[in-house]
Structure 1
């Protein structure tokens, strides 16, 4: 795996977070079909990167999903689907999965796998993804994520008013991570 990233969050010392970023994906419809069929080989969070601003944005969703899992308040069936759901700022699961998850026409993907007991080895995660995704792996960096972001998708998904500039990524990241953190509390 050329550009995969593996992180350990200090708040979850027994978990590894694996993040991959892919372009030129040609088999999104097949991945989505297998995912919806419940194929356990596809137990990853497949995210449409057009709605992602930065690595901080990704980590906010992962953190929210992990804290909800720890609290016993998952709203979806799996941690992987909870990560996709965590990207949304609303409690509407179906709508959030549709907006942020993989669709049949996705040509780029951000993929997250959280290993909560560190039983999976990093190399096996990347090898498995190479067998699942027909696309080009690129390094997971803010610069590469930014190239795939669609600002109007961000504006629509987070209902950001037209008067607010989306040019300053760090400011917009604060807005969307706040929406992730506060979902269900307001």
Structure 2
């Protein structure tokens, strides 16, 4: 049974955001293959949690993707891929999806599904994820996300200089959410 989280962002009251966190994933290559094949059953944002600092960091990417969708400015084909793309600080779609998305060796995943049509689908989302992902669902908390974060991967993906300390997660989260918000404007 999935220990997922469902919430609504105040700016998008008609959209439900479903978030799942999985460890001990054994079928990442199959999931990635289905994503690349365009299988609509896999219409989720599969995010590598090694690059995610907190729930606020994840929600910043979701918010950016929803804002871009509302403005008619999606740069990828789907809202799910736009969520993964939103994590990047550059406009290079392929590079960002490779750095922040699922890869064949992923053994943990943050998974996001956004329903934008006001239909409540909480149970079907979790049931479908339980069928898609072979892994262990864990509660979506900052503590569980932190356990999976690789600070050096965050440093590399966001090009944070070596002299800057990453020990204060709240400060680093502010830095990376700023990069998400400003991508394409600088």
When the two structures are superposed, what TM-score results if normalisation uses the length of structure 2? 0.99
Unaligned stretches of 5+ residues in structure 1: none
The equivalent residue for 2:106 is: 106
The equivalent residue for 1:71 is: 71
1:39 maps to 2:39: yes
RMSD: 0.7
Structure 1 runs of 4+ with >2 Å offset = none
Please say if residues 2 and 130 of structure 2, whose CA atoms lie closer than 8 Å, have aligned partners that are also in contact: no
Distance (whole Å) between structure 2 residues aligned to residue 155 and residue 107 of structure 1:
20
Give the drift of 1:119: 2.4
The equivalent residue for 1:139 is: 139
> 1:123-145: CA deviations, max 9, x gaps?
00000000000000000000000
Give the drift of 1:73: 0.3
> 1:45-103: CA deviations, max 9, x gaps?
00000000000000000000000000000000000000000011110000000000000
Give the drift of 1:118: 2.6
Please say if residues 51 and 157 of structure 2, whose CA atoms lie closer than 8 Å, have aligned partners that are also in contact: yes
The equivalent residue for 1:61 is: 61
Give the drift of 1:38: 0.3
When the two structures are superposed, what TM-score results if normalisation uses the length of structure 1? 0.99
Give the drift of 1:3: 1.8
Aligned pairs for 1:135-174 (under 5 A) are: 135-174=135-174
The equivalent residue for 1:13 is: 13
Residue 162 of structure 2: SS of its match in structure 1? coil
Count how many residue pairs are aligned between Structure 1 and Structure 2. 186
Give the drift of 1:120: 4.7
Distance (whole Å) between structure 2 residues aligned to residue 118 and residue 80 of structure 1:
17
Unaligned stretches of 5+ residues in structure 2: none
Residue 104 of structure 1: SS of its match in structure 2? coil
Distance (whole Å) between structure 2 residues aligned to residue 24 and residue 165 of structure 1:
30
